[in-house]
Amino acid sequence: MIRQETLAHARSMLFVPGNRPDRFAKAAVAGADAVILDLEDAVGVEDKDTARQHVAEYLRDGHPAVVRINAAGTPWYDDDVAMVARHPCAVMLPKSEHADALVEFTRLLPDTPVIPLLETATGLMSAHALCHAEGVVRAAFGNVDLAAQLGIDPGDHQALVTARSTLVLAAASAGIAPPIDGVTTSVHDDEVLVADTDHVVGLGFTGKLCIHPSQVSAIRSAFTPLPESVRWAHDVIAASDEGSVTVLDGQMIDKPVVDRARSILLRTDLS
């Protein structure tokens, strides 16, 4: 099973359709911090059972992965839950809207790390409760589904800034890792990918979902602290004294600034 620490600090998570076992091994060596074997949107109704079997075989052979199961209330949910119970792994729960559903899932699989995917208006309005639910390691943002519900362009940064910031605040309030952003659907447009990633870095996200291996490198790079940020963090730590306030290059250095510096160095160490 993927360690919770790995999930909490993952900068890139790569989706792979569960009905394409020929791609599982390729995804595992693509450089992403975690691979998500998808039983939901990437798999047609006619392939749901076959995809579940492929994923079970992959997990049974000892390969670490996150599994995005089908949403609660769908015809495939119970079978998906039974499969991940037999083959322990981290689980992404799509269409997460109500904390009660997470509580019930955790009751059934108490040792399973959970990533709720918030991709509806109801889910975002419930972000505080969802992020505080037991078993939740980190939350993820479903920009494409939410944009479709709202009738807006999923690539419009301004239109979704409130939703994204709501999730960042909910995660911070719950004391869990900052959230992971949704996908960039422009697979071969590096400029769009970089712009999308830089935008969410500025909002407080620390990772992003990928739909193609070619996106992994740019995403990992964008979420890795720049050398000048690392130098600043080292200088802050060196200048600080626990419980006291000092000044560095004209900037007040107190506990919140030191905490930010330590966060930067932690992400650097995990690179």
Binding site for Mg(2+): what residues are annotated? 119, 145
Q: What residues does 14 pair with on adjacent strands? A: 35, 210
**DSSP per residue over 95-133, as a string?**
T---HHHHHHHHHHSTT--EEEEE-SHHHHHTHHHHHHS
**Residues contributing to the annotated binding site:** 68, 119, 145
Segment holding 15, helix H or strand E: strand 12-17
209, amino acid identity? L
Rounded to a whole number, what is the distance in angstroms from the first to the last CA of the chain? 20
DSSP state of 91: E
* Token pair listed for 180: 């992971």
For residue 206, give the 3-state DSSP assignment. Answer: coil
* For the chain, the helix, strand and coil percentages under 3-state DSSP, each to the nearest 5: 50, 15, 35
Alpha-carbon span 128 to 236, nearest angstrom: 32
Write down the H helix ranges in 175-247: 190-203, 216-222, 227-239
Please state, as a whole number, how many other Cβ atoms lie within 10 Å of the Cβ of residue 171.
25
**Residues contributing to the annotated binding site for substrate:** 68, 119
Match 């992994």 to its residue by tokens: 216
